[in-house]
Every structure is written in C-alpha cells, then in structure tokens.
Amino acid sequence: MKKNRPVKILVSVLLVLVMLVALSACGGGDALKGTWEGHSQDMAVTWTFNGKGSCETTNEYGIKDTGTYSVDGDTAKIKLSNWDEALDYHFEVDGNSLSLVADESYRPSYELTKK
C-alpha cells in the first residue's frame, strides 16, 4: 500500500494542475465589459458592453443603437444594427481608459473612460 502512495499523490497533483489550466483558459473576463463614456472625433458617446456579446451605444443627441461584439486578443469585432457590416476595432484598456481604434481610417475611433 505504501508503494502506491507516491503514485496517488502524483496523480492528484497532476489532476489539480490540469483543472487549474482548464479554468484559467476560461477566465480573464471581458476587458470591454461595462459602460464607457467619452468621444469620437466629432461627438460625445456612451458605449455599454454587457460582457456576453451584446452592446449599446448612445450619442450626445440621444440616438441609441444596439448590436453585438466579440473579442479576440486586442481586437473587438463590433456590429451595430444600423451598420452594413461588422467593424474591427483594436482596443487598449489602461485602468479606467479604453481606446477603440478603427481598422479603417475613415471610421470613427473612440477615447472612453469607464463610468
């Protein structure tokens, strides 16, 4: 019985390590989740990302739009209902600041602060 004890301990440790790796792959959360206020080049705007793939934006004139988003690394693919296609934005979160920079220069980019 004592011969099997080191094997059981080793198997237990390996199982714990596998579980930790699996859980860390699922974790991390959504860096965009929350409500962010700020501006694009030409107007004030509020973005809300729910952390589950839905988003909403409201501009300074009270015009709202809803849509979906997904995150892959430092790129957010955002599709609002009034847009013809999904747009890729490179983003950077630094504390309470969020920069959304459009892939295409003629699209608006945003500098936002977490509300």
Average pLDDT over residues 74-96: 96
For the chain, what percent of residues have pLDDT higher than 70?
77
Give the pLDDT confidence score for residue 5 in this predicted structure.
76
The pLDDT tens digits of the residues spanning 37-50 come to: 999 988 999 999 99
pTM over 0.85: no
Average pLDDT over residues 14-38: 64
Cα(99)–Cα(45) distance, rounded to whole angstroms? Answer: 13
> Cβ atoms within 10 A of the Cβ of 76, count?
22
Q: Which domains does the chain carry?
A: 34-114 (2.40.128.640)
Give the pLDDT confidence score for residue 16 in this predicted structure.
46
The pLDDT tens digits of the residues spanning 10-22 come to: 555 554 444 443 4
Average pLDDT over residues 78-88: 95
Contact (Cβ atoms closer than 8 angstroms) between residue 94 and residue 81:
no
Residue 28 has pLDDT above 60, yes or no: no
